[in-house]
Amino acid sequence: MSFARVWVIASNVFLEVIRDRVLYLIALFALLMLATSVLLPEVAAGTEGKITLDLGLAGISLLGLVVAVFVGTGLINKEIEKRTVLVLISKPVSRTEFIVGKHLGLSAVIAVLMGLLSAIFLGVLALNGIEYPLESILLAILFTFFEMVLLTAVALLFGVFTSSLLATLLAFAVYLMGHLSQDILALGRLSENPAIQRVTNGLYLVLPDLERLNLRNEAIYGMQLIPEPLVLVSHILYAVLYTVLLLAIATLVFSRRQF
């Protein structure tokens, strides 16, 4: 695999997506945070700090999810529908380089987007004099980024073999079920039916456990202590390995497609 070719593909994806009105999401988030800082003191006296933290982190996660899913599912599917993929794969570009380049390019967009949203979020907190645990907030945002990187790989995988609409629905389903995977496993353990237990265990093994990457409640409400550094590293490795596995499957499926 040539890193030079991967870099070219990733750079093209980055510039294309940045130009495709993604930065309007930053303005939308800024307006949301300003509206929150103005309206909340009037309706939620005494709790506006927690609510602002909650809305800010939720907004960063939601907008990152929108980009990862809606853009990710169309990155390859659009190339297939327009037949421009024929030009790309006819050149000395392997399908692995093509998939990895697309993923890295969109991941870079999400990194820039989340970085700018985080700066706006922290700026609004500072202007309103809201106290917050900076280390915990930044850690929650970092893990949200790894979650979006994983979901980008999910979106690319579905976009390889199905339509953009169906791929989007499937990616959102994985997001929702990924956050419920631990509950699904617990439900199976409560059941006395071995068949149900096998199904729930299988779902837990197949679906990504996205709750490993969700530190937002800990950062905002202090519901539990932030995990130990070794546990945090293991969660990051989990996200990275799962992402690599998804990209490998996407490459395998893409290599078997006939154009």
How is residue 61 written in tokens? Answer: 């996660």
pTM to 2 decimal places = 0.89
Give the Cα separation of 91 and 19 in Å (integer).
26
Q: Give pLDDT tens digits for 4-41.
A: 888 888 998 898 888 877 778 888 888 888 887 777 66
Q: pLDDT at position 215, please?
A: 87
Query: Would you state the pLDDT for residue 25?
Result: 84
Rg (CA), the chain: 20
What distances in angstroms separate CA 122 from CA 41, 49, 132, 139, one per listed residue?
Answer: 18, 12, 9, 13
Compute the distance between CA of residue 61 and CA of residue 66 in angstroms, rounded to an integer.
9
| pLDDT tens digits for range 44-82 | 555 667 788 888 899 999 999 999 999 999 888 777 776
What are the pLDDT digits (tens) for 97-130? 889 999 999 999 999 999 999 999 998 888 888 7
pLDDT at res. 47: 64
* Interatomic CA distance for residues 180 and 96, integer angstroms: 31
Residue 50 CB-density burial (10 A; 0-12 exposed, 13-18 middle, 19+ buried)? middle
92: tokens are 């000395």
Output the pLDDT for position 95.
82
Spatial contact of 141 and 232, defined as CB atoms under 8 Å apart? no
Helices vs. strands in the chain: H and E counts, helices first? 11, 0
Q: Mark residue 222 as left, alpha or beta (left: phi above 0; alpha: psi -120 to 50; beta: remaining).
A: left
Angle between helices 194-206 and 164-190 (to 10 degrees): 130
Taking only the tens place, the pLDDT of each residue in 139-157 is 999 999 999 999 999 999 9
Q: What is the sign of the dihedral through the CA atoms of 104, 108, 110 and 115?
A: positive
